[in-house]
Chains A and B, each alone.
Chain A
Amino acid sequence: MSTISISHLRKTYGQFVAVDDLSIEIPTGTVYGLLGPNGAGKTSTFKCMLGLANCGLGQIAYDGQPLAPATFERIAYVPERAVLYDHLTVAEHFEMTRRAFKKFDVKRATELVGQFGVDPRKRARALSKGMKTATMVAIAFAREPDFLILDEPTSGLDPVNQRSVLNLIINEATRGCTILFSSHQIGQVERAAERIAILQNGRLALEGAVDDLKADRKIVEGILPSEDYSVNGFAADRRIARVDKQGRILRLTVVHEPDEIANQLAATGAQGVRVVDLNLEDIFIGAVAPDTSNAVVVEGAN
């Protein structure tokens, strides 16, 4: 049984369809990355999952049960925008959380904000954006929830604290927590997530285990003899899913026989030809490109 199940979710704002027929299963203890360009429907999905927005159609279930007030004892949420009470201190936010939830470790929360360099005696209005995010993250993790839903949890944080948050995510997952998070930092998602879903215009463009998605395809890259070298031959090749050319640099996303394609590229006089593993950024761009059914040439990409 999946821990979090989203089934045929649809959310509209007037005529605008924010999420369309989205179905995702998130297994217990998984770190699940939700990716997509701006406006793809990630935050709307989170809001529907938490009942913060009314979803027109679809079902959300946590351990097979629909969302109920008691479910929030097990869910911690860090929204995209850090929503603290400006007139309260960080410590008062801890107290508020302690009173609201059965499980909240004030000591751990204090330690966490200390790691992020936040003074618990400070009022929220005096905190920077990153500090507010850090406070929300600390509160969420100090609750030791079963489900963590994190919408851009590293937004506004410096690289060191971003790394700390990622470590926290990974540690929580080892504890058995199921984590769904979104981030525009694809490298972070690649590091932490076991599975990903990529949304495009509210619809699910791609979903699966990161390792499987990476193993599926390879990148063949090289430096062409000249900038005006024609790559139409590669574009027509059915083994190639995508062609990216920027100046003399050519990157081919190859579905089958990457070594053979590499040899062909080398035969054109291209230099430095090599076969490399696909990274999540390649997967993401491949998924949200206008047409991935056939090989396409993207001039000036990257």
Chain B
Amino acid sequence: MAYVEWLRVKKTLIVLSIVLAALFLIVVVVRISANSEFGPGRLNSMIGSGATVVSTQPVPGGTRTVYKAANGDTVTVTDRGADGVSGIVTGPTVDAKKSKNQHVRIGPFSMTASKSEVEFETNGPLDVGMVFAYLTLFGAIIATVLAAPLARENERLEVAWTKPVDRTLYALQLYGVDIAGILAAMLMMLVACIAAYTLFQIPHLTLTSDGALHALAAIVACTAWYTMYAALTSWMKRGFGAFIGIAWPVGIFVPGLALIPMTGTAVGATFHWFFQIISVLDPLAYVHLTSGIPRHDIGLGGIDEPLKILILAALALVYAGAGLIEWRRVEA
């Protein structure tokens, strides 16, 4: 029944695959042109000029080199080739950071600073779930491309509603095909990201429970963003494109405005309250990715992942239901 929608999804995925292929090609060019940065001499640039090699010894999977940097620090680097680089920095500049005691992790890159040393790793475990979650906004863009399937049918209800299928079931089929398309697009982007990463280092793929939750939240957020369009537009016969266009700036700026206290005046407080309420309904307001980086409560993004998933799922269901109810009331 949802053949037309399937064709639309197929076309979108074809365009996406072309875009991804083009981006991958750019990454390949970058990788080739910056080959020296990833070759044997790369450590010199990492440590800085004036460093001297103290010792070199083979270790399982690579080479361990001890450098004496110009600033007096001792840098012990284990180069595992395509498997990445790890190291420990000790010395006067590390001692100067006594007050610092932190751990930073951005994807596979991590750095732990303690009172006496700084450890770094360029190719730690790569959480597939987190990579997937980072694609939320791109998934939302695909959701926007596929948005408003019911409103699109409104121009042709004489065809859509004279098929031997219940209208609710038909609408659910349209939703289903589109959501599957969004998921497929996100998976394609995930594969492309990992493939691009592999050009530089062999990834150590893992899937942690936290990453899985983030990935699930990403899927639900994109679904909620998609169904929000359905709720906004399913009653419209034309002009729904304007709603689709305006939803992005509203979806991004409203959560931002909600963060500004504006509590100095009654008007400001009212606006603050208003934007906070609207933010609750905005699926994009829940998109906030943290992994290793200390989490700050940035609006709704800071709430725990399971609760976030529940709220987003509820929003997705309410929006889908609202869109459906509105659509059933439309007349040809």
Contact = CB atoms under 8 A, between A and B. Distances in A.
A83 B162 contact: no
B161 A100 contact: no
Of all A-B residue pairs in the complex, the 10 with the closest CB atoms, nearest first, are A52-B332, A79-B158, A72-B164, A83-B156, A53-B331, A73-B164, A100-B163, A96-B3, A69-B166, A99-B3
Most chain-A Cβ atoms within 10 A of its Cβ — which of B4, B157, B162? B162
B7 A88 contact: yes
B259 interface: no
Interface string B147-176: 000000001111101111111000000000
A50 interface: yes
Nearest to B331: A53
A100 B165 CA distance: 9
B146 to A, nearest CB: 14
20 contacts: A53-B332, A54-B331, A69-B163, A69-B165, A69-B166, A72-B162, A72-B164, A79-B158, A79-B332, A81-B158, A83-B157, A85-B4, A88-B4, A92-B7, A99-B1, A100-B1, A100-B3, A100-B163, A100-B165, A101-B164
B332 A95 contact: no
Nearest to A96: B3
A83 B157 CA distance: 8
A101 B157 CA distance: 16
Contacts of A116: none
Contacts of A53: 331-332
A75 interface: yes
A160 interface: no
Given A50-B162, A72-B162, A92-B7, 13 more contacts: A50-B158, A52-B162, A53-B332, A69-B165, A73-B164, A75-B162, A79-B332, A83-B155, A85-B4, A85-B159, A95-B3, A100-B3, A100-B163
A70 B169 CA distance: 13
Contacts of A100: 1, 3, 163-165
B17 to A, nearest CB: 19
A70 B165 CA distance: 7
A69 B164 contact: yes
- Interface size on B, as a range, is 10 to 19
- Interface size on A, as a range, is 20 to 34
Nearest to B2: A99
A269 to B, nearest CB: 57
B250 to A, nearest CB: 28
Contacts of A85: 4, 156, 159
Contacts of A73: 164
Contacts of B332: 47, 52-53, 79
Interface in A32-58: 47, 50-54
B158 A52 contact: yes
Interface string B197-219: 00000000000000000000000
A51 B161 CA distance: 8
A197 B156 CA distance: 28
A47 B158 CA distance: 8
Most chain-B Cβ atoms within 10 A of its Cβ — which of A71, A92, A96, A102? A96
Given A69-B166, A83-B155, A83-B156, A50 B161 contact: yes
A47 B161 CA distance: 11
Nearest to B8: A87
Contacts of B162: 50, 52, 72, 75, 77
A93 B46 CA distance: 61
A83 B3 CA distance: 16
B318 to A, nearest CB: 24
Given A47-B331, A88-B4, A99-B1, A70 B164 contact: yes
A77 B1 contact: no
Nearest to A78: B158
Interface in A82-132: 83-85, 88, 92, 95-96, 99-102
A79 B164 CA distance: 17
Contacts of B159: 83-85
Nearest to B159: A83
Interface string B289-317: 00000000000000000000000000000
